[in-house]
Amino acid sequence: MLTYVLKRIAVSIPVLIGITALLFVMLNVIPGDPIALLMKEHASPDVIARVRAQMHLDDPLITRYFRFLFSALQGDLGTSIKLNRSVTTLIMNAFPNTLMLAACAALVSWVIGIPAGILSAVRRGGFIDNFFMGFSLLGVSMPVFWSALLMQYVFALKLKWLPVSGFYGFEYVIMPAIVLGWSSAGVIARLTRSSLMEVMRHDYIRTARAKGLREILVINRHALQNALIPVVTIMAIQVASLLSGAVITEAIFGIPGVGRISVSAIQSRDMALLQGSVLFATVLVILGNLVADLLYAVLDPRIRHQMKGGSK
């Protein structure tokens, strides 16, 4: 198992390097000077050139890239051009807010998605199936910004049950968590339904029924564990994506998280902050995929045996 984990980490290193190189090149070929944008029209060209030299922004592109890569390996993602603060510090300060939002959104999606998928598979073709699949389809197809604005209008402005925006307590997380969790729950519900229906057609399920087991025991003991294997992948990837920053949701609800930092970096062309945010998000997605693979082994002994066999 340890050898498998090390192999996956080794494979992820070229991915990280490729993403950082692509991002670095893209940010530096975009027209416009971030220093001139920061200092606006009040600074002369000589002052702008001096500041660029002090920040080593006039060095060759390849030199700046390897400097950034070497610093990132030591945990230093550079200094924000606009805020003049450490990018690592800014991201770490914002990450707990994103972590709380992601955890609540993931909980909403799991609590809604998995039971809805199971009930739809068991009652397929009936009213419950049509209701849950229609509800999940609505969540998947509705844009996040539209559902967020709709919930703000109904629950904050009209009913006054929840605050419109901000991040000063748990009640401020409820609406954004539901907005994010609803779209994720739709995907989980549909995947759970299709996977469980596929598993229920296998011979060992018919054998369990022939032994006289109740349907709920057949589902819980025999079908559900195998059906959840593909669902675990989506759940892990969704959590990683939420942790990397729910950009639109954080911007609409005024949550000072990683997503909002990324938006601010794009608006101000703060290359160091944007590079650090994207690199941080990439690492989280890779870790999410690794966790999903390890959960495979927990759910399916056959996969665990293959991992052990491959590590010899």
> Per DSSP, what are the bridge partners of residue 274?
none
pLDDT above 60 for 7: yes
The whole-number pLDDT of residue 305 equals: 56
Are 273 and 160 in the same domain?
A: yes
Please write the tens of the pLDDT for every residue from 209-233: 787 777 777 777 777 777 887 888 7
pLDDT above 80 for 161: yes
Rank 31-35, 86-90, 199-203 by mean pLDDT and report only the highest. 86-90
Are 258 and 178 in the same domain?
A: yes
What is the gyration radius of the CA atoms in the chain, in angstroms? Answer: 24
Please write the tens of the pLDDT for every residue from 259-301: 888 888 887 778 788 888 888 888 888 887 777 777 776 666 6
Are 120 and 37 in the same domain?
A: no
In a domain, 81, yes or no: no
Task: Specify whether the backbone of 84 is left (phi greater than 0), alpha (psi in -120 to 50) or beta.
Answer: left
Both structure tokens of 17: 């390097």
Count of structural domains, the chain: 2
Are 209 and 306 in the same domain?
A: yes
pLDDT above 80 for 180: yes
pLDDT above 80 for 306: no
Are 53 and 24 in the same domain?
A: yes
pLDDT above 80 for 243: no
Are 155 and 273 in the same domain?
A: yes
In a domain, 128, yes or no: yes
Are 38 and 139 in the same domain?
A: no
| Percentage of the chain lying above the pLDDT 90 cut | 4
- Per-residue confidence band for 43, with pLDDT thresholds at 50, 70 and 90: low
pTM of the complete model? 0.80
Are 110 and 22 in the same domain?
A: no
Are 92 and 67 in the same domain?
A: no
The whole-angstrom separation of Cα 72 and Cα 108 is 34
Residue with the two structure tokens 């949701």: 249
The whole-number pLDDT of residue 33 equals: 66
DSSP class of residue 257? S
DSSP class of residue 223? I
The whole-angstrom separation of Cα 155 and Cα 175 is 9
In a domain, 82, yes or no: no
Lowest pLDDT segment from 40-44, 61-65, 196-200: 40-44
Which residue type sits at 60? P
Query: How does DSSP assign 69-131, residue by residue?
Result: HHHHHTT---B-TTT-SBHHHHHHHHHHHHHHHHHHHHHHHHHHHHHHHHHHHHTTTSHHHHH
Are 161 and 249 in the same domain?
A: yes
DSSP class of residue 156? I
In a domain, 240, yes or no: yes
CATH of the domain at 206: 1.10.3720.10
| Residue 176, CA distances (Å) to 109, 155, 242 in order | 12, 12, 12
Query: How does DSSP assign 34-47, residue by residue?
Result: HHHHHHGGGS-HHH
Instruction: Of 44, 41, 68, 42, give the one whose Cα is nearest residue 56.
Output: 68
Mean pLDDT of the chain: 81
The whole-number pLDDT of residue 275 equals: 82
267 near 273, Cβ under 8 Å?
no
In a domain, 78, yes or no: no
For residue 91, the enclosing domain spans: 87-310
